[in-house]
Amino acid sequence: MLSDSRKISIRQAVLIFLTITFTPSIRLIPTYAAQRAKQAAWLSPIISTVLLLLLGLVWQVLYKRYKDCSLMEIYCDITGSIAGRIIAVIYLLWMILLTALYIRYFAIRLVGAIYPNTSISIFIISMLVIVTYTLRFGLPVLARFNEVVLPFLVLAFFLLFLMMIPNIKTEMLTPVSLRSILPVVRASVGSTGILAYFTFIFIFGNRINNKESIKKSSAEMSMFLTAALVLFQISILGTFGYRVAQRTQLPFLVAVKQISVMNIFEKVESIVVSVWVLSDFVIISFFITCALSILGFLLKLRDTKPLISIYVIFSYFLCMLLANNVFEMEKLSDAFAIPGNIILGFVIPAVMLLVGKIRRKV
């Protein structure tokens, strides 16, 4: 059993989850939802956060029985050693893919938004050096750093939203009717794929304390995300409408560029870029931690720190081979990453709970 000094609380784990949803929300949700639900796209996060609340209940039930276990240990006990380890390998491959995907997205956004003539390798190597150094201090250090980062992200978004209010036109958000229900459901797939990351924090569930309060934490988290994601969508759709949002790679950045306070405070997109970098640091560190945790389980290692540098170097080369351009990256996310996240983040935990009930393991 790990000592408390090497563990984090469920509150810290939830805060990490909130931070790692920030970057994907900026990149994916506005365009994905606008393409499917048009002016009603701002309602799509409500469905996703309801599903997130239900997912929290699933993990609450599982952790009543498996108090000090990781996700892999739970799956192995419910399905058997062989099936559980096969599922663990699938999760490992998925963590490897997501690590490479977010490393590449981090660099592409910086190059596309601010430094168009700079090689992405410069940003990738710089980020990975910092990530490698930080992870050697363990998960608790990352969690404490995130406790500093998240309030800054929330404050920055809130201030940006306030400054965007004069540009928001309510007619861009309507009409919404019963006919909008099915499009909104389809649009919610994108945000659901991101909120599926909640399951991934339990990959290192054996290093999380106070898991008996998952239900309470997930309820508070769902309410916060409902408000944040709806306001986020409103700020974009209300500024220039769904037609622009569905054709723009970074619609939130475009909306922020419209901000002008008394013709004095302009060019605030640098704030968005700053919070991008902080959020990307946490999300890359998170998925590397997840991958190393699964490797440690599969290889029965007590300490995975010696693998950090090797894994980071491997991730660098993989992210460079992942796609030729941003359009291929977006297709990979829409067609492959989102469905995969939903299966691994929502479907498999629900199936495990059902199988556990049938086999009287839960």
> What's the domain count of the chain?
1
SS (H, E, C) 168-229: CCHHHHCCCCHHHHHHHHHHHHHHHHHHCHHHHHHHHHHHEECHHHHHHHHHHHHHHHHHHH
The domain of 343 spans 4-358
Report the Cα 242 to chain-centroid distance in Å.
23
Three-class DSSP category at 303? coil
Residue 333 to residue 323: CA distance in whole angstroms: 11
pLDDT of res. 262 = 47
User: Are the beta carbons of 270 and 258 closer than 8 angstroms?
Assistant: no
pLDDT of res. 227 = 93
Residue ranges of the chain with per-residue pLDDT less than 50: 262, 264-265
pLDDT of res. 164 = 86
pLDDT of res. 5 = 67
Report the Cα 151 to chain-centroid distance in Å.
17
pLDDT of res. 84 = 96
Residue 307's Cβ-count burial label (10 Å; 0-12, 13-18, 19+) is middle
Give the CATH number, domain containing residue 40. Answer: 1.20.1740.10
The helix (H) or strand (E) run that includes residue 288 is helix 269-299
* pTM, to two decimals: 0.94
pLDDT tens string 17-57 = 999 998 888 888 889 999 999 999 999 999 999 999 999 99
pLDDT of res. 265 = 47
Residue 50 to residue 82: CA distance in whole angstroms: 33
Three-class DSSP category at 65? helix
- Rg of the chain on CA atoms, in Å: 20
User: Are the beta carbons of 29 and 191 closer than 8 angstroms?
Assistant: yes
User: Are the beta carbons of 324 and 108 closer than 8 angstroms?
Assistant: no
pLDDT of res. 264 = 46
Tokens coding 330: 């977006």
Residue pointed to by tokens 């240990």: 73
pLDDT of res. 175 = 87
Please, which residues bridge with residue 261 across strands? 265
From residue 99, give the alpha-carbon distance in Å to each of 14, 23, 273, 315, 325: 19, 13, 20, 7, 17
